[in-house]
Structure 1
Amino acid sequence: MKDVEVIKARNTLSPRARTNFEKRLRVAAYCRVSTDTEDQLNSYKSQVEYYTELIKSKPEWSLAGIYADEAITGTQVKKREDFQRLINDCMNGDVDMVITKSISRFARNTLDTLKYVRMLKDKGVAVFFEEENINTLTMDGELLLVILSSVAQQEVENISANVKKGLKMKMQRGELVGFQGCLGYDYNPEDKTLTVNEEEAAVVRYIFQRYTEGAGGSVIAKELENLGYKTKRGSPKWADSTVIGIIKNEKYKGDILLGKTFTVDPISKRRLYNFGEEDQFYIREHHEPIISEEVFEAAQEILRRRAKPRSLNVDGKREKFSRKYAFSCMIECGFCGGTLTRRSWHSSSQYNKAIWQCVVSTKKGKKFCPESKGVDERTIERAFVESYRLLCQNNKDVLDEFMKRTEEALSESNAGRRLAKAEKDIHALEVKKNKLVDMRLEDTIDKETYDRKYLDLSSQIEQLQKECESLQDAAETETTMRKRVAMFRQTLEQNEVLDTFDRHIFESIVEKVIVGGYDSNGNKDPYMIVFVYKTGFKNSVDGKNFKPLRKNSKENHSPAILCSHASNEAESMCSDSSDDTLRMRALDVKSPVI
């Protein structure tokens, strides 16, 4: 038998594309530090110097380059520009071997480590990890790599857990964590305090004022752009989401909520809003407020109501969102039939005034309702006072008929009695339900009968509970109306004439107001104001006779100001002072002070 000579195998996989085996290896080094602290930066420089000297000291190696990422995390490859450049050079055949300090320097994500090591291995490019003494081209290299890279990833997760614990401890002590500043405040990172920036605070107050007046986020955003205000970052563009974010921010009332977001895991670094998955920390009176507690809560209430889906009325139309102002949803355009909405003119100057304008003209364009004009709110208020005076003097029989009809309607409503009956029926059904359960426990009825009767009783109770909710509102409205009718009758008996606009009286007797129309000769009159009373009586007045003097007029000293804010009593009667948002509801609601 002939002798067989065994040629020993090498432990490395030889590249198939290389024909000259004596060719020097083109070696590249990769360095990385994850933070920009002084010690880490010194380590970074030391790594660069070390690998430059190491590669040059090896005669069989030639320097293909030093690739280094400074102050970059190793958990996400896409953020490491030099690492991506290294991989591209390897795939282009410019590098034969990559040398790095350890697996954690290469990547702290097991999936990324294996992905790129296998990609380079297919191209015949070795990756050598010094600390672990692993060469990826050897047969046992990948097994060790999987184990050690998993350990590196676990180390990251442990560090992340420790950092989270440290941040929570800071938040428990009341320290600001991750705060980047917000409009209206200046942040001092040294002592971590917030101080009011008065110039920016004026913008915040304007946003809350307009929002509590009924304006939406997109409307306020356009107003801010038109007024030339800038965001915290200096941008002249405002998004409605930015405005709503300010409305939601509790910092403006002096409190602070820590832990609004959390990181899902240290690998993806995905952040989510905290809806209770992690602990949160609320600190009251942390710093000087810009907005009062009352104004902030009023804004949150509007925000919550707007977030709810609006139900349909019996006529199939969506219910009205708000009765913020006395004339909201009550003024109709006499030309196109559209609704008039409240708008502010010259809101940032001393000549500001509230006007009511046809929504068709403002939303679709003037060409869709060319005859309509904006009417000053004080004009409508004064016109109503005059119309009411004429009604009291010349139409006593009409008012008596109105009072009679209103009292009859209230007596027929019986919302309070119906509510009491519904609550009594619910109690009776609950008693039956409890007895049914006792019978089932005593085994006096079979399961099928029990289930059928139990579901039937539950369904009846649920239906009555829904009826109670609607009757509750009706009962409150009925009680309020009874009080108003009594007050109104008392006013009539005393034969008093209104000196100032009274929102309560207006809402009690007026069905709607029509602004604009045609006179007896067929001429267009945009200032014609028609009050349609709930008795069916109509009264038309000329709005031009009630226009207030311009603020820059020399004669701006009118002795009769019908909407005065000189006293709290008068302010409570003014059409734009109450935050009563539902028609015929709470009479003595205190208005927010902005």
Structure 2
Amino acid sequence: MVQKTVTEIPANPLMGDLRKRKRKLRVAAYCRVSTEEEEQQNSFEVQVAYYTDKITHHEGWQLAGIFADDGISGVSTKKRDQFNKMIELCRKKKIDLILTKSISRFARNTLDCIKHVRILKSWGIPVIFEKENIDTSNMNSEMILTCLSSFAQAESESISGNVTKGIRMGYRQGRFSFRYKNFLGYRKGPDGEPKIVPEEAKIIRLIAQNYLNGDSLRTIKETLESMGVPTATGNQNWSTEAIQRILQNEKYMGDVLLQKTYTADFIEGKVKKNNGELPQYYIKDNHPAIIPREMFYQIQEEIARRKSKKPANAKKAKTNRGRFTSKYALSERLVCGNCGCYFRRVTWSIHGRKQIVWRCINRLECGPKACKDSPSLKEDELYSAILKAIRSLVQGHQEEMAATLQEALIHCIGRENAAINPLVIENRLHELDKDLDRLLTMDGSEIVDLRIKQISDEMLQLRQMKKRAELDAQQDMGRENKAKEIMAFISAEYLDLTEYSDTLVYRVIERVTVLSKEEIRIRFVGGFEITQPLH
């Protein structure tokens, strides 16, 4: 048998990759600045110029690209487009080496940093961190990199905490940054304060008035689009969500609510709605209002009323608590005097001839057993009777209507005086807060603990009372405004009623009760009622 011969060939790292020896290394650099301040802009420009010069003048290197994210946080790689583009080119083997200033420039998240370094290392692409003098191609352990990247993350966490603390301290003092971008109605004035943009303010007022006139969000959307009105972002297509946000934004009545949202985890960066996890700060009369305060409160009441119309279960939407509709004003106002359900508009076809009538929903869907005596009302007769009632109100019942409205206003004022003054509650809360601070510094005992619990319970009750009192005041203000509006309406000498109008019904009528086939009872805004024959 022939004896085997084994010859050892010594290792030669220089022969490891002949292709790399034959061509220049394709070197890329990654730069990042975290804010868009002017000073950091200069730093950004300096970094780009530095790496361009260094790579192009280094023997054996060729520039594979300068990747720079300007004004982007390093906590996460999700929004760093240039960083992700660089990683993708590495995956395609178009980059051989990456240079970066420091670990904190590469990533402030320890897991992200280690993950991407490992991925690049598996592709044979080292990263050189200049400040820390780390070359990942020569590292036998990730311990140093892990520790240093953890320090970078801790530094970022500290900065984030300090910035957040500074913002919240500003909130307490009423200082905040008004966001004009993509916000319709205001621009920054010469004095730095919000200034109304007249053309955009007209759109806001149109949206508010149309909503109170009974238009649905979809109808308002179609109106704005037909008028060619652009959104805050310049888009010609409106969304119902954008209109809803406008109607609910307190800034349009001149107030500001701060800390509506918060960032729970600075690494994830997810914004959450503040449902009481953090304190909020409300600034009243911060800037000029586009929508009057009374009108804004009316809008909030109307939003709540429409939401209450939506059934909890679609299968149970057969009765008077059906989904809100803005198509016909009477769908929300015409009520059966027999069972209390709303009426619905129905089209009958009799011998090929169509006739529109209004029928009790309860009788329509559950039959005569559910509502035996409710009549079917012809739409033209119903509209005519309502129109006659409004004319009668304008022409002959101003004094009676005025007396009823005056009584309603006196009731509102009486309630306001009877209610606990929010200022009194606030003073009591301040006193209890001082007592609580004093007790918390004392040594714990059963008596002290009991008193702390009593104070806490009383403070909770007072806060609830204050909230109820403020809500009652807002509602009374809305009622008073409605009463004044209807008084101005019925006293208008130029008013000429010639035909039925859904918009008019929305403004002046609260409810129409069907008493029988011969008559209806109409309740106007403010409480004044008229019984009107249908024929």
TM-score norm. by structure 2 comes to: 0.59
Residue of structure 1 in register with 2:245 after alignment: 245
Residue of structure 1 in register with 2:143 after alignment: 143
Question: Gaps (5+ residues) in structure 1?
Answer: 1-6, 342-372, 388-562
Q: State the SS of the aligned residue for 1:257.
A: strand
Q: 1:20 to 1:273 in 2, by over 3 A?
A: closer
Does residue 76 (structure 1) correspond to residue 70 (structure 2)? The answer is no
Query: Quick check: 1:170–1:177 contact (8 Å CA) kept in 2?
Result: no
User: Bigger CA drift: 255-264 or 222-231?
Assistant: 222-231
What is the identity, as a one-letter code, of the residue corresponding to 2:526? V
How far apart in 2 are the matches of 1:189 and 1:281? 24
Which of 508, 520, 523 in structure 2 is aligned with 1:578? 508
Residue of structure 2 in register with 1:153 after alignment: 153
Alpha carbon RMSD of aligned pairs, Å?
4.4
Q: Write out per-residue CA displacement over residues 464-495 of structure 1, whole angstroms, 9 at most, x where no aligned residue.
A: xxxxxxxxxxxxxxxxxxxxxxxxxxxxxxxx
Q: State the SS of the aligned residue for 1:589.
A: coil
Which of 566, 570, 588 in structure 1 is aligned with 2:492? 566
Which of 353, 361, 381 in structure 1 is aligned with 2:386? 381
Q: 1:107 to 1:379 in 2, by over 3 A?
A: same
Residue of structure 2 in register with 1:256 after alignment: 256
What is the identity, as a one-letter code, of the residue corresponding to 2:221? A
User: Bigger CA drift: 290-299 or 56-65?
Assistant: 56-65
Residue of structure 2 in register with 1:589 after alignment: 526
Q: Write out per-residue CA displacement over residues 167-205 of structure 1, whole angstroms, 9 at most, x where no aligned residue.
A: 222222323425135766322166442223333222222
Post-superposition offset of 1:43:
2.1
Residue of structure 2 in register with 1:45 after alignment: 45
Q: 1:326 to 1:55 in 2, by over 3 A?
A: closer
How far apart in 2 are the matches of 1:167 and 1:223? 40
Q: 1:110 to 1:191 in 2, by over 3 A?
A: farther
Query: Quick check: 1:258–1:281 contact (8 Å CA) kept in 2?
Result: yes
Q: State the SS of the aligned residue for 1:137.
A: coil
Query: Quick check: 2:29–2:99 contact (8 Å CA) kept in 1?
Result: yes
Post-superposition offset of 1:122:
0.9
How far apart in 1 are the matches of 2:20 and 2:196? 72
Which of 300, 319, 328 in structure 1 is aligned with 2:321? 319
How far apart in 1 are the matches of 2:345 and 2:50? 83
Question: Gaps (5+ residues) in structure 2?
Answer: 1-8, 336-341, 350-354, 360-377, 393-488, 498-503, 514-520, 529-535
Percent identical among aligned pairs is: 35
Query: Quick check: 1:121–1:137 contact (8 Å CA) kept in 2?
Result: yes
User: Bigger CA drift: 329-338 or 207-216?
Assistant: 329-338
Residue of structure 2 in register with 1:405 after alignment: none
Query: Quick check: 2:127–2:136 contact (8 Å CA) kept in 1?
Result: yes
Query: Quick check: 1:325–1:575 contact (8 Å CA) kept in 2?
Result: no
What is the identity, as a one-letter code, of the residue corresponding to 1:130? E
Q: Write out per-residue CA displacement over residues 276-309 of structure 1, whole angstroms, 9 at most, x where no aligned residue.
A: 2222211112222222322222221121122234
Q: 1:579 to 1:204 in 2, by over 3 A?
A: farther
Question: How many residues are aligned here?
Answer: 375
What is the identity, as a one-letter code, of the residue corresponding to 1:103? I
Q: 1:384 to 1:32 in 2, by over 3 A?
A: closer
What is the identity, as a one-letter code, of the residue corresponding to 1:69? D
Query: Quick check: 2:90–2:120 contact (8 Å CA) kept in 1?
Result: yes
Mapping for residues 3-22 of structure 1, pairs under 5 Å: 18=18
Q: State the SS of the aligned residue for 1:77.
A: coil
What is the identity, as a one-letter code, of the residue corresponding to 1:91? R
Q: State the SS of the aligned residue for 1:32.
A: strand
Q: Write out per-residue CA displacement over residues 437-486 of structure 1, whole angstroms, 9 at most, x where no aligned residue.
A: xxxxxxxxxxxxxxxxxxxxxxxxxxxxxxxxxxxxxxxxxxxxxxxxxx
What is the identity, as a one-letter code, of the residue corresponding to 1:317? T
How far apart in 2 are the matches of 1:19 and 1:314? 75
Q: 1:131 to 1:315 in 2, by over 3 A?
A: closer
Query: Quick check: 2:257–2:281 contact (8 Å CA) kept in 1?
Result: yes
What is the identity, as a one-letter code, of the residue corresponding to 1:589? G
What is the identity, as a one-letter code, of the residue corresponding to 1:566? A
Query: Quick check: 2:31–2:44 contact (8 Å CA) kept in 1?
Result: yes
Post-superposition offset of 1:237:
1.9
Does residue 305 (structure 1) correspond to residue 305 (structure 2)? The answer is yes
Query: Quick check: 1:327–1:575 contact (8 Å CA) kept in 2?
Result: no
Post-superposition offset of 1:262:
1.8
